[in-house]
Structure 1
Amino acid sequence: MTPSPPRITVLIPTYNRERLLLRALDSIAAQSFREFEIVVVDDGSTDATPSAVAAWSSANGIPVSYARQDNAGQHAAHNRGVQLATGELVVMLDSDDLLAPDALRHYVEAWDAIPARQRDGFCGVLGHCAWWATRQNTGDAYPQPVFDSTYLEVKQRHRIHGDKPGAWRRDLLLLHPYPVFPGERRFRMSWAAQVMALTHRVRCIDVVLHYVDQQADGLSSNTLRKRLMAPRSLWFCFRDEANRFTRGYSRRIRLQAHVRYVRYALHVGKGPIAQQREIADRALLLRAWPAGFVKWLRDVVYRRAGWVKVPNRSLTSAP
């Protein structure tokens, strides 16, 4: 008899985080809900991650699906992990973070509470993050304990800020893989949630589901340098924000999206004419252009002055 697939896949992309990864795995093993699988995608680690994962799996009696790839970034590792996953829902857990107690049970119960006839119109479940050291919420509360909306509405209309971890339908994630630009190892991980929000709602629950323990060398450190090392990825994301993700929202939000688009379009060699071909609202593009140009010029000055160390190969043309 073929075993039933797990209800939920916990996907951990990791890179040189052997010690912290084991702590994340321990937080999964401690969950009361047991219908899960673990997928670890090693993004080219040079430490003892492979042997550490194997030893942990053996010691805990919990299978771990382990895959290794050349270093290509968290988004590329996420794509690989979703392909390997078999769960109905996929939860991405950063290797330096932890699941809160009973997080998987909360995810599945919230998903199952959506009426079956409505579930096709939902893409997943969102909760809250809290800081590991203080247990304080990293962002804003939802207006109700159970709140149905879209990811874009949550962020742009309700102005609910902060990290919001989610369990997402695997079938939809497979439809919306992150674009991967060779040589760039950073991408806005909110992009997939924004795409799904164009057609699907999300159930939000006022429960802390992940603990965040941000490391000094994490993805949020040295933000400007990391952004300038992924100009094509950001150009792509902000083009989508300007054309798709902010439509119907406030003029201020739309203007900000167009300013960011101008900044990174210039970084990849797209001048005013090329930008007009890409952007639907040309009037708003024109209004955004001075501020976007100033931000681009500041980046160039910082780089040339050596205040931000960025390899020249990072600033290349977009496709």
Structure 2
Amino acid sequence: MPRFSVIVPAYKVQAYLPQCLDSVLSQSCSDLELIAVDDRSPDACGAIIDEYAARDARVKAVHLPENQGLGRARNAGVAEATGDYLVFLDSDDTLTPDALRAVADRIKETGEPDVLVFDYARTYWDGGTVRNQLAAHLTEEGPAPFRLEDRPGLLRVLMVAWNKAYRREFVAEHGFTFPPGYYEDTPWTFPVLMAAGSIATLDRVCVHYRQRRQGNILRTTSRRHFDVFDQYDRVFAYVAQRPGLARWRPELFRRMIDHYLVILGRRDRLPRGSRAEFVRRARAHYRAHRVPGTRVPPRSRPRHALIRFGLHRTFQALRLASAVRRRTLKSTLKLTRSLRAAALRLHYRVQRCLPLRSDRAVFAARGGRGHGGDPGALEQAFRTHAPHLRTAWVVRPEHRHTVPQGRRGLCPGTAAYWTALARSKYLVNDGDFGRGLRKRRGQVLVQTRRGTPLKHMGLDLQERPAAARDTDFEELLRDVDRWDYVLSGNRHSTLTWERVLPGRYTVLEYGHPRNDVLQQATAADVTRLRGSLGIPEGSVAILYAPTYRDHLRTQRPPLDLERVLNRLGPRFVILARPHPERGGCLGRGPRIIDVSEHPSVEALCLASDALLTDYSSLMFDYAVLDRPVVVHTEDLDVYEAARGTYFDLRAFPPGPVAATEDEVIDIFAGGHWRGARSAQARASFRERFCPYDDGHAAERVVRHVVLGETEGRPEPVPPAAREPVPSAAASARPPLATVPQPSGPLPVTEGR
């Protein structure tokens, strides 16, 4: 008997059905049966289902003799189901990776509840993804399982069948079935939640709810939307037959009226001339199902009154007035923004006519997303080695808390921001200050970049449209022409920047200032950082930091972190750090620590014992610590084709190279991650890419740029002579000894 019966009814969705079925069959939890129901679809859905059934024994093909609609097609699937739990999935939607594994774990954790409610996200045809706005109702905090009266807010979550898992015996015991009609989910979901003896929630997006550009049946203009009245009659009839459920009538009534108002408020639902009739039917339902004394939230009372009194013309007038108000407000805001922009441009022009302030410096990093990176390290060095300078930091309001006390914050786009850009002598950034910047004679602009380039950058992206996206190369070169200095950490970076970002700037091959802290930190710093992150004492902490895939619209975690940890055992934990452009969470579990919002990646490097990455430039910085680096290259050929790389990681790696998830597990489980050959590869990598990262890079930059000391600087300490702080695992080497390995070249699996 399988754990899950996933039921997928299909009708006129041939373009989306394969992706839907693949999302089920590729789940890491394979204990399932997939019941695909062909609702007499006139397109190729039936043939597609038969093809999948022939390839995979878990697929059951059901062909209905005539089209019966979504509800009855689901019923046909339920009749064939043998799994412990039923999961419904519409044929144009998809399960997210590892969704069923998360559902199975939560079911087991909460004692086999009758119903498990999980979250979803809307996915749009243009690639956008928006999570359910009522996700707060799915919190896993508090007792579980529970009954509906303990958390009635669940009735406000979208009432659909596909965001829940149902215990099959519970469904059979109560005889739940889907009725025919357009809104068949309504008389299924309300009774199921009210009847459930135990409910649990899973705060995880398990379904991607596709928002089609065209073809969504609920967004089709039709009189079939009148079916909603029959479906709510079924709901209230169910309650009337069970006096114990009468307490839910007020909430059901409010949900019903809100639902009617949604249909009325959408232009694409009701045919022309049918709105008055719809309002009359809604008014009749209002009177039939209203419970005396039902409280309506103050904000909803005016809209409910329109239904209560059947004020169709008033409703239309209010809609028109609301539309006029929105347009007026939009025009006013647009005019206000234009006037403000013009005033700021004039202000900036006036400020550029005033004398330059030689004792001022402005810093910015990551587009105003907080303090840090090379600009952050340089600002501290400016204050230490050139104390006569006054510094200011460009930061967005939501990131103001990341700026250390005593620093002046500048909100982008404000008058103070443009004043600082116009009057400050030194401008330091790892990106750009925007098109509005006009560099003055005497100003010095330091461009720090964001690490050592592995993937193609600058003009090389002209041949990589997936990675370049909307890059304006002419504007990029105009920005390059403003630069006076570009920082570089090694010869490879210098040669790359001069070719792909051609300009008249001077390259300062001094190392990366942000890496100074990696050389200056102490064992006490490591202990403090591990404690602040909640890393258990004696654990091996792996920092997992995959890069962004420009060629993928949906960014999925390259590794199943929970599976990796289950194989490695309890002594390992993972610090999961997604790329800033990706966001989100890379995995969940008791030994997966989400550090996506941590302000300092340098602190994460110090707290960890090893780095696991793919093509992230973080590997060059991490090598400064002389700690193990493991590279996962499962999709390297695809990545090189889409983005391009400047050298083959497999030929010159910073440590062991794994082509698959199982190889990653073997490298850590067998101790190869920190064996002799790993150290040998890392030493060669450090010599090539970290020659100047000795803890004094920021000082060298300040002495050159600000103090004018262009000669007589001491040579950097060679990598072999440095002594960075050891990791916690290295300090506890005896109990965590690795398997002895022979010396010699680091092997790379053939064909990677």
Q: Report the TM-score when normalising by structure 2.
A: 0.33
* Residue 133 of structure 2: aligned partner: 139
Deviations 1:85-129 (A, max 9, x none): 1111010000000011111111111111123xxx4xx32211111
Decide whether aligned partners of structure 1 residues 209 and 70 sit closer, same or farther in structure 2, where only a CA change above 3 A counts: same
In structure 1, the partner of 2:102 is 106
Residue 61 of structure 1 deviates from its aligned partner by 5.3
2:3 aligns with 7
Give the structure 2 partner of residue 52 of structure 1: 48
Amino acid at match of 2:169: D
Deviation at 1:198, TM superposition (A): 2.3
Verify the 8 A CA contact 2:39 2:64 in the aligned structure 1.
yes
* Equivalent residue letter for 1:206: D
Measure how far apart 1:21 and its partner are: 1.1
The answer to whether the Cα contact below 8 Å between 1:243 and 1:279 also exists between their aligned partners in 2 is: no
Q: Where does structure 2 lack aligned partners over 5 or more consecutive residues?
A: 261-276, 295-300, 316-752
CA shift for structure 1 position 36: 0.3
The CA deviation string for residues 280-318 of structure 1, in whole angstroms up to 9 with x for no partner, is: 84676xx9897246178999xxxxxxxxxxxxxxxxxxx
Sort the Cα spacing of 1:155 and 1:267 in 2 relative to 1 into closer, same or farther, 3 A. same
Structure 2 residue identity aligned to 1:211:
H
Report the identity percentage: 20
Q: Specify whether residues 242 and 139 from structure 1 end up closer, same or farther in structure 2 by C-alpha distance, changes over 3 A only.
A: farther
Q: 1:172 corresponds to which residue?
A: 170
Unaligned runs of 5+ in 1: 300-319
SS state of the match for residue 47, structure 1? coil
Q: Is the CA contact 1:242–1:254 (under 8 Å) kept in the aligned structure 2?
A: no
| Structure 1 residues 262-273: aligned runs within 5 Å | 267=281
1:82-231 counterparts in 2 under 5 A? Answer: 82-115=78-111, 119=112, 122-132=113-123, 133-142=127-136, 144-145=139-140, 148=144, 149-150=146-147, 156=153, 159-160=156-157, 165-174=163-172, 175-180=175-180, 185-200=181-196, 201-215=198-212, 216-222=214-220, 225-229=223-227, 231=229
Q: How many residues are aligned here? A: 282
Give the distance between the partners of 2:166 and 2:177, measured in 1 at CA. Answer: 13
Q: Is the 8 A contact 2:159 2:190 kept in 1?
A: no
Structure 1 227/243 Cα, relative in aligned 2: closer, same or farther at 3 Å?
farther
SS at match of 2:76: helix
Which residue in the other structure is 1:308 paired with? none
Contact residue 177 and residue 192 of structure 1 kept, 8 A: yes
**Conserved 8 A contact 1:8-1:90:** yes
Does the 8 Å CA contact 1:138/1:162 hold for their aligned counterparts? no
Q: 1-side partners of 2:12 and 2:155: how far apart? A: 37
Report the residue type matching 1:129 in the other structure: Y
Q: Is the Cα contact below 8 Å between 2:176 and 2:188 reproduced in 1?
A: yes
Change (3 A) 1:177 1:293: farther
Aligned position for 1:311: none
CA distance in 2, matches of 1:57, 1:135: 31
State the match for 1:314 in structure 2: none
Which residue number corresponds to residue 232 of structure 1?
Answer: 230
Cα RMSD, aligned residues only:
4.2
Structure 1 pair 96–290 and aligned structure 2 pair: CA distance change class (3 A): closer
The letter of the residue matching 1:217 is: G
Measure the CA separation in 1 of the matches of 2:134 and 2:290. 32
SS in 2 for 1:203: strand
Cα deviation, 1:194-249, whole Å, max 9, x if unaligned, reads 21222323110111111111222123313774312564334323555799898546
Paired with 1:298 and 1:243, the residues of 2 have a C-alpha distance of 37
Cα gap change, 1:42 to 1:49, in 2 (>3 Å): same
Amino acid at match of 1:141: A
Alpha-carbon distance change, 253 to 33 in structure 1, aligned in 2, over 3 angstroms: closer
Contact 2:279 2:312 in 1 (8 A): no
CA separation of 1:265 and 1:202: change in aligned 2, threshold 3 A: farther
Q: Residue 256 and residue 83 in structure 1: after superposition, are their counterparts in 2 closer, same or farther (change >3 A)? A: closer
Higher mean displacement: 233-242 or 77-86:
233-242
* Distance (whole Å) between structure 2 residues aligned to residue 127 and residue 256 of structure 1: 20
CA contact (8 A) 1:31 1:104 kept: yes
- Separation of aligned partners in 1, 2:200 and 2:216: 29
**Cα distance, 1:58–1:229 mapped onto 2, change above 3 Å:** same
| Greater RCO, CA 8 A, separation 6+ | 1
Taking the aligned partners of 2:258 and 2:154, their CA distance within structure 1 comes to 19
Stretch deviating more after TM superposition (201-210 or 156-165): 156-165
Q: 1:266 to 1:82 in 2, by over 3 A?
A: farther
Cross-structure match for 1:294: 310
Q: Note if contact 2:40-2:63 (Cα within 8 Å) is conserved in structure 1.
A: no
Give the secondary structure class of the aligned counterpart of 1:112. helix
Secondary structure in 2 matching 1:57: helix
Larger Rg computed on CA atoms: 2
